[in-house]
Amino acid sequence: MSIYKRFRAGCLGLAFSALGTAPAIARPVPTETDPAAIIQIAQGDEGAEQSTDSSIDSSAEPATAGDAAPATPAPTTSSPGSIISVTTGEIVLLDEGQGPKSPLRLAPQVGNRTQLGADISINVTTEIDGQTAPNPGFPSIGMVLGIEVMDVDDAGQITYNITYDDINMGTDASFPPEARQMIDDVFQQLKGLKLVLVGDDRGRVLAANVEAQEGLNPFLVQMLDSLSQSMKQVSAPLPEEAIGIGAQWSITGAVTAGGLTFEQTATYELVKREGDQFTVSVDVEQTAEPQSVGQSGLAVELTDYSANGTGNLVMDIGYPVPISGLFDLISTTQLSPSHLNQVITSRAEVRMELSQQ
């Protein structure tokens, strides 16, 4: 695939990467819409080899009583069965809040099941050397996720599955029909695929594993990794201390995802607590130092990256994930491909809305 087609084909990789915590540069940003290139990337790059290991890494240490959740080994490739690195920084209580105070803890029971609807919309604008590039438009994405609690141990460690029960593309963007059909066909391979996650009673994700069959489409592998990151993005890790309404806490740390390292600070506030449910607001800031990224033999220099996200999440102590919520993320990325004397700046606006089915 020529370098220009890589840019054009990158629109889908960019969109799905924007869903997770990693900056959206897994593939270069597009300069225009090229259906043939989009179809080619959906079918998978030539020579792509996938791992088939589908077991959760047993070397990950269990959670401790401290604030910092243990890190799991980072994957060497983006492949089915790989462990997605989850490094949670120290949870720092900024304000204990007002009124009655008590610790917030999740208490799911084995066998608890629910379904979540996840609706995702994406808008990307791109400039190349200061000139606005054509905007191909991005179709919305609708998913139905099955959540099931599989195990809860005495230490409060929770193993649960997230299954892709349904996924489809919307019809609200001027996307080429042939590309839409091809991507929709690829999406059908997602149905029934499962993520196995391990968390704790404070909402921290300790490990995540994709259970997928051999030979899974490379485009889907990238998408699964991005969507997995997305689910971690909308989690709400809880402080150890007793808190009341208005309590605030934050987590700051270095995150490595998609071959990049960046700093992330997430700040949470308890805005409502009633019975088994509570609502938290979340603000996320991300920045990255200049660094090199290689993808499919193409070297790209990241010269600048920043992102800000805000949202509200509704949690129920019976489930390890939010049962509803809304999260918006706006990112700005500046790239300089090594093969071209160009500066590419993209702005991505991503909205994810969760609802219990």
φ and ψ of 223, to 5 deg? -65, -45
Which stretch of 36-45, 110-119, 223-232, 297-306 has the lowest confidence by average pLDDT?
A: 36-45
Single-letter code of the amino acid located at 151: D
Query: What number is the average pLDDT over the span 219-234?
Result: 61
Let me know: does 101 contact 242? Beta carbons within 8 Å.
yes
How far, in Å, are 83, 153, 265 from residue 160 at the CA level? Answer: 15, 12, 26
Q: What is the mean pLDDT of the chain?
A: 74
How far, in Å, are 30, 240, 351 from residue 123 at the CA level? Answer: 13, 38, 9
- pLDDT range class, residue 155, cuts 50, 70, 90: confident
Query: What number is the average pLDDT over the span 12-32?
Result: 36
Contacts of 75 (CB under 8 A, 6+ apart): 82, 83, 84, 85
Does the pLDDT value for residue 30 go beyond 80? no
- pLDDT range class, residue 180, cuts 50, 70, 90: confident
Is the entire prediction scored with pTM above 0.85? Answer: no
Query: What number is the average pLDDT over the span 130-145?
Result: 84
What confidence score (pLDDT) does residue 52 get? 37
What confidence score (pLDDT) does residue 234 get? 59
**Gap between the Cα atoms of 200 and 163, Å rounded:** 19
Per-residue pLDDT tens over the stretch 260-296:
788 889 999 999 999 999 999 999 999 999 998 765 5
Structural domain boundaries in the chain: 3-356
Query: Hey, what are 141's tokens?
Result: 């994405």
Does the pLDDT value for residue 333 go beyond 80? yes
Does the pLDDT value for residue 64 go beyond 80? no
**Gap between the Cα atoms of 356 and 323, Å rounded:** 5
**Gap between the Cα atoms of 221 and 42, Å rounded:** 11
Does the pLDDT value for residue 214 go beyond 50? yes
